[in-house]
Amino acid sequence: MELAQFFKSIIDEDKCAVVICDVNHTIIYMNPTACERYDKRGGAALVGKSLLDCHNSESNAIIHKTIEWFKESKSHNRIYTYYNEKENKDVYMIALRNEQGDLIGYYEKHEYRNRETEPFYRFE
């Protein structure tokens, strides 16, 4: 089995929205959670479109600045972007790099602070 299928499966099972963009800000993949979360904005139809079209000019300026920071050093791979109080989560932009360390894209990482309430090993 191809390694890419394993990585896709990991992303697809994430309960957080995952929107992956290339360095030109084109949305190249959205996991099912992202398609559902952004359904009112186009959902899966956003794939192939610019992420910049989904944000205002202030946000776009910050996105551009972050991408430039990612390009400055192969060690610049994660930056804290904001705290979402309503959903009690931290949000980061994460650099995606090829095997040589070149920037090939980025995605937004959500880390919820709420403790899981589901029982351990719930086999239902």
pLDDT at position 124 is 82
pLDDT in tens, 34-77: 999 999 999 999 999 999 999 999 999 999 999 999 999 999 99
pLDDT at 5 over 80: yes
| pLDDT number for residue 116 | 86
The reported pLDDT for the residue numbered 77 is 98
Q: What is the pLDDT of residues 73-93, one digit of tens each?
A: 999 999 999 999 999 999 999
Instruction: Quote the CA–CA distance of 15 and 17 in Å, as a whole number.
Output: 7
Q: Which pLDDT tens digit goes with each residue over 93-116?
A: 999 999 999 999 999 999 999 888
pLDDT at 30 over 90: yes
Which residues, in sequence order, are CB contacts of 65 under 8 Å at separation 6+? none
Domains (range + CATH), the chain: 18-112 (3.30.450.20)
